[in-house]
Each structure stands twice: as C-alpha cells, then as structure tokens.
Amino acid sequence: MSEPDVIKPEMMKSYIWLQTADGSIQQVEQEVAIFCPFICHEIHAGMGSSKTYPISLPARVNPVTLSLILDYCRFHQVPGRSNKERKSFDEKFIRMDTNRLCELTSAADSLQLKPLVDLTSRALARMIEGKTPEEIRETFHIPDDLTEEEKLEPLKNITDDPRIRLLNRLYARKRKELKEKEKLKNVEVEAEHVDDRSVDELLSFINGENGDSKEVKTAKNKKKNRRRKEQQKNAPPVCANSNTSSSPSNGTKESNGVSSVSRDDRVKGHCLPNISELLKLQDSEDDRFALDDDFDDCDIGDGIDPEIKEQIDREVEDFARRLNSDWPERVQELLSLGQERRPSLYSINGNGCSTKRSNASGLEKHEK
C-alpha cells in the first residue's frame, strides 16, 4: 500500500475512504476531500487510506449531506474559478428544503468547513430576517409552545411596548387573584378538616391514641399556604417589572416555600404527640388571623369566613377546657418546645401585627 500522505503523480488520482455514522463507506477523490479541514487532519493522522481504515465522520454527517458537501468541495477546490462563478454556484447550491439546509449546516460545522457554514448560515439568517414569528415557525416547523403569558412576559418586552406592559400587569393581577382564591378554598377545606379532626383526635388522644401524622400534615399545608400567600403579596410588584429570568426566580420562590415547610416539619418532628394539639390550637388562632387577612385584602367576600371563625372559636374553647385537666405537666413541655416555634409565629402574621402570641398567653386567653 502506498503512503496516504503522498499525493500520487498526475495520472492517478488517489482516493480516500470515508465512513458515515450509519456505517456506510464510500470512496472519494483525495483532492476533493482534503478541502474539509477535518478530513485533512485525519489523513495526516494516517487514516482513510484503505477500506479497512476509513475516516469516521462525525455523527451529524449522513450520506445525503456528505454528498452535498463533496459537491461543494469538488467545485470550490478547483483554483481557476472566478469569483462570479463561485458566487453563482453558491446561490444555486443553497436552494434546498429548509431542514436539509439545517442538516447541511450542522454537518459542515462538524467537518470544520467554515466557508460552507458561513454560506448556509447566511441563507438561514435570510429566512429569519424580517419575518414575523408565525412565518418563522412555519418555515422551520418550530412548535408554538410558549404560553400566552410567557410570550408577553417582561423578558421579551425589550422594546418596552406599553400594550405589553399593561397586559403583563393584568396577567400578574389575575394570577394573584387566582392564587388567593385557591388558597382560600384550601384554607376553608382545611379549616373544616382541622375542626373535625381536632375534635376527633383530641378525644382519641385523651383516650391515648396516636393521631398526630394527620395533624402535622394539615398544619404543614396551612403553613405552606400562608407562606405562599405572603410571598404573593410581596411578589407582584417585583414580578411585573424587573423579572430578569422567570424560571430561576420562580425556582427560588418555590424553594423558599419548601424550605419554610421543611423547617416547620423539622420543628414539628420534635414535637411529641401531646404538643400537637397546642400547635393546632395556635394554628387555628393563626387561621383566624389569616382569614382576617384574606378578608381585608381581596375582593372575594364569600360569607363563608365568619362561619368558620365561629366554628373554630367554639372548638378551641372546647379543647382548652379539656386540656385544663392536664395543665401543669403540659406547660413545661409546651414552654420548652414552644421556644422553637415562636420565631415562626412572628413571621406568619402577615398583617404586620406584632402580637406576641406565646403559648401560655394564648391558652390563658381561652381559659377564660
């Protein structure tokens, strides 16, 4: 076998072997193939001289695009062509189906054939320039999978169109209202749950059964809702105007919610079953405050809230009376574990109300 690096004398053209990703091997004139830097390097590394050692082309080069690329190389590697000829060849060359043009660009890029990459990417750019998004999607079969909101998000409002700004604000307000509606529903549902379960489980506890898992969960849900609601209150003015990139900031919001929940979980994890009622007591108190908040803020006045309030009041008093019997021992545990809980109590009160709702005082209130 002759050396692959030596170009043979004029009479005989030397050929090299190329293998595409699908396994098919073909023979190409060396002078044409070395127009591609990738192939050139491979030849210098000693590959491609025989059928058993073909040059493996990168994955993006399939037989169709390879033949197109070789046509291009075959034309342009001839030194005698005038600029006009080359230009006219190029113009005819890029007339093909859009997807094939994209494949050709990727293939040329992986073979490091810069002139062809420039030519094809310019052609693709011409197809994008000055078109509306719908036209571009049509040309390239791009799915239209942004939600209406995402399309109008501040991220895209680079040109500061006042209509888009207005729409953003409306969307933000709508979002907030929807979330609050949802949360209220959750709260009602859980308030009712709490009421039901508190009675049942108090009884069951007093009778010595372990029912705290459910309690913890409901308390956790309420905490999460409250926290989300608070963030909601603070977030909209920020959200509507200076959202640099929505996904990361959404992520952090969520994680804030989650981390607060997990913190509560951790605290509650330490709580013994006999503390959980107290927690619930405080929760129900919080509920009352929370419901007040809801009532103040938004326009949703269902008339359900006062009823629940009354229910909760009743149950709380009930519960307090029952606890009275076991009061002295419980107080110790309450006070020690309540320390952990107190900081979160301050933050929860969204109204900015700085009432210090310590465990003891809360109980005292209801004892009367």
- Asked whether 120 and 105 are in contact (CB, 8 A), the reply is yes
Q: Does 102 bind another protein (CB under 8 A)?
A: yes
- Out of 161, 317, 364, 367, name the contact with another protein by CB under 8 A: 161
- Asked whether 350 and 293 are in contact (CB, 8 A), the reply is yes
CA distance 138 to 125: 15
Indicate the burial class of 158 (C-beta count within 10 angstroms; 0-12, 13-18, 19 or more): exposed
- Out of 29, 31, 109, 265, name the contact with another protein by CB under 8 A: 109
Q: Does 87 bind another protein (CB under 8 A)?
A: no
Phi first, then psi, for residue 144 (nearest 5°) are: -95, 75
Q: Nearest distance from residue 114's CB to another protein, in Å? A: 10
Q: Report residue 187 as tokens.
A: 């709260």
Please choose, out of 135-143, 264-272, 281-289, 300-308, the segment that lies near another protein by the rule CB under 8 A.
Answer: 135-143
Closest by Cα among 17, 31, 11 to 73: 31
Helix then strand then coil, % of the chain, to nearest 5: 70, 5, 25
Q: Nearest distance from residue 121's CB to another protein, in Å? A: 4
Q: Does 99 bind another protein (CB under 8 A)?
A: yes
- Out of 63, 115, 211, 273, name the contact with another protein by CB under 8 A: 63
Q: Nearest distance from residue 256's CB to another protein, in Å? A: 23
How many residues interact with another protein (rule CB under 8 A)? 43
Please choose, out of 30-38, 42-50, 104-112, 195-203, the segment that lies near another protein by the rule CB under 8 A.
Answer: 104-112
Q: Nearest distance from residue 315's CB to another protein, in Å? A: 48
CA distance 38 to 35: 9
CA distance 105 to 120: 6
Task: Please spell the DSSP secondary structure of 167-201, one letter per residue.
Answer: HHHHHHHHHHHHHHHHHHHHHHHHHHHHHHHHHHH
SS3 state at 71 = helix
CA distance 128 to 130: 6
Q: Does 151 bind another protein (CB under 8 A)?
A: yes
Query: How crowded is residue 227: how many other Cβ atoms within 10 Å of its Cβ?
Result: 21
Q: Does 121 bind another protein (CB under 8 A)?
A: yes
Q: Does 10 bind another protein (CB under 8 A)?
A: no
Q: Nearest distance from residue 261's CB to another protein, in Å? A: 29
For another protein, the closer of residues 6 and 125 by Cβ is: 125
Q: Nearest distance from residue 42's CB to another protein, in Å? A: 20
CA distance 201 to 217: 14
Q: Does 46 bind another protein (CB under 8 A)?
A: no
Q: Nearest distance from residue 11's CB to another protein, in Å? A: 35
State how far Cα 263 lies from the chain centre.
23
- Asked whether 224 and 257 are in contact (CB, 8 A), the reply is yes
- Out of 52, 213, 244, 332, name the contact with another protein by CB under 8 A: 244
Please choose, out of 60-68, 72-80, 177-185, 282-290, the segment that lies near another protein by the rule CB under 8 A.
Answer: 60-68
- Asked whether 183 and 305 are in contact (CB, 8 A), the reply is no
For another protein, the closer of residues 129 and 329 by Cβ is: 129
Q: Report residue 61 as tokens.
A: 């080069």
Q: Nearest distance from residue 119's CB to another protein, in Å? A: 11
- Out of 27, 88, 245, 250, name the contact with another protein by CB under 8 A: 245
Residues that bind another protein (CB under 8 A): 22, 62-64, 97-100, 102-103, 105-106, 109-110, 117-118, 121-122, 124-125, 128-130, 133, 136-137, 140-146, 150-151, 155-156, 158-161, 244-245
